[in-house]
């Protein structure tokens, strides 16, 4: 089988933003992130914001001026004004490649905040070792930077795995649906399933392979993914899908 998964370039330089309404915790988290960077062997610049509105104003400005954006945003969830979950949704809209990490004392926010596309949840109290663990994970992912090669013989495109919504078997072909377009591929859905299961994909139906990152809701006999797309799920797959999804979600919660 031809190679399907490709990796990008490595970088150890990170721009990090922190959103926290408590000035005491602003200072604490900034110090711990800087210590974590030394532990992780990366270079960072840190900016701190007291409200979600302040952060969004700066993010809008950076986007409009095509300036460099943060790679990581650490945000509290419970804040005056816009809360962390709603802030996260707007961040994802403006800068979908940002790693959003929630800082919270409550694990049950994990499911409620999933729509904000949080990469991790750090549960208070947080030691710099936990920040370091997250930074190392992100550096590793950026080093691997997984992509799928898609397209025809005239034009091939490297598509980030996170941009793939789902795949559907159509006759002898597989149609790959992404966040902005679709590709018709000659490889079988079974080939893609074998390659992508380790990266958070699940076969919900004999003809459909779904990216768990884009799960929104599940109802009887169907699932809803990003953009409101409704897909069928085999009844015998429902329980396994729920288990896989919550396992996938749980991997994003970092406990102290």
Domain of residue 171, CATH code: 2.40.50.1020
The answer to whether residues 23 and 126 belong to one domain is yes
Residue pair 148/164 in contact (Cβ under 8 Å)? The answer is yes
Residue pair 241/231 in contact (Cβ under 8 Å)? The answer is no
The whole-number pLDDT of residue 174 equals 97
Q: Spell 119-133 as b/e; 16+ CB within 10 A means b.
A: bbbbbeebebebbbb
Residue 256 lies in a domain: no
The answer to whether residues 139 and 155 belong to one domain is no
CA within 13 Å, CB half, 239: 1
Largest CA distance in the chain: 60
Residue 5 lies in a domain: no
The answer to whether residues 236 and 139 belong to one domain is no
* Single residue among 86, 109, 144 that ends a domain in this structure: 144
The answer to whether residues 140 and 151 belong to one domain is no
The answer to whether residues 39 and 129 belong to one domain is yes
Q: Identify the H or E element spanning 110.
A: helix 109-112
Residues in CB range of 134: below 8 A, 6 or more apart:
36, 101, 120, 122, 254
Can you tell me whether residue 189 is helix, strand or coil? Answer: helix
252 φ, ψ (degrees, to nearest 5): -90, 5
Residue 133 has which token pair?
């663990």
* Single residue among 125, 144, 163 that ends a domain in this structure: 144
State how far the Cα of 88 lies from the Cα of 252, in Å rounded to an integer.
Answer: 15
Cα dihedral sign, 33-99-61-88: negative
Q: Is the pTM of this model over 0.85?
A: no
The answer to whether residues 156 and 100 belong to one domain is no
The whole-number pLDDT of residue 256 equals 43
The answer to whether residues 55 and 158 belong to one domain is no
Residue 179 has which token pair?
């966040």
Low-confidence ranges of the chain (pLDDT < 50): 1-2, 254-256
Distance of CA 90 to the CA centre of its chain: 14
The answer to whether residues 133 and 235 belong to one domain is no
* Single residue among 128, 144, 160 that ends a domain in this structure: 144
Secondary structure (DSSP) of 37-98 = HHHHT-EEEEEEESSHHHHHHHHHHHHHTTPPPPSEEEEESS-SSS-HHHHHHHHHHH-TTS
The whole-number pLDDT of residue 114 equals 63
Range of the structural domain that residue 207 is part of: 147-250
The answer to whether residues 41 and 165 belong to one domain is no
Residue 3 lies in a domain: no
The residues facing 170 across adjacent strands are: 173
Residue pair 12/139 in contact (Cβ under 8 Å)? The answer is yes
The answer to whether residues 28 and 132 belong to one domain is yes
Give the count of domains, the chain. Answer: 2
The whole-number pLDDT of residue 48 equals 98
Residue pair 52/84 in contact (Cβ under 8 Å)? The answer is yes
């Amino acid at each position: 089988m031809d190679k399907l998964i490709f990796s990008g370039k490595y970088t150890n330089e990170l721009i990090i933003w922190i959103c926290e309404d408590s000035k005491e915790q602003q200072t604490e988290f900034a110090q711990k992130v800087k210590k974590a960077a030394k532990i992780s062997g990366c270079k960072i610049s840190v900016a701190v914001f007291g409200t979600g509105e302040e952060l969004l104003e700066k993010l809008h400005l950076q986007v409009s001026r095509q300036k460099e954006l943060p790679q990581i945003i650490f945000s509290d969830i419970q804040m005056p004004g816009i809360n962390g979950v709603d802030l996260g949704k707007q961040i994802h809209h403006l800068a979908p490649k940002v790693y959003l990490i929630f800082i919270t004392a409550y694990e049950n926010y994990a499911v409620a905040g999933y729509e904000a596309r949080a990469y991790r949840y750090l549960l208070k109290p947080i030691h710099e070792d936990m920040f370091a663990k997250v930074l190392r994970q992100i550096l590793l992912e950026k080093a691997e930077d997984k992509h799928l090669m898609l397209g025809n013989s005239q034009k091939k495109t490297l598509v980030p795995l996170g941009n793939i919504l789902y795949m559907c078997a159509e006759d002898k072909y597989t149609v790959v649906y992404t966040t902005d377009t679709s590709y018709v591929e000659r490889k079988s859905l079974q080939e893609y399933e074998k390659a992508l299961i380790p990266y958070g994909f699940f076969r919900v139906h004999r003809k459909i392979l779904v990216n768990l990152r884009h799960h929104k809701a599940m109802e009887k006999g169907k699932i809803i993914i990003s953009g409101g797309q409704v897909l069928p799920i085999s009844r015998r797959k429902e329980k396994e899908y729920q288990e896989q999804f919550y396992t996938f979600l749980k991997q994003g919660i970092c406990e102290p």
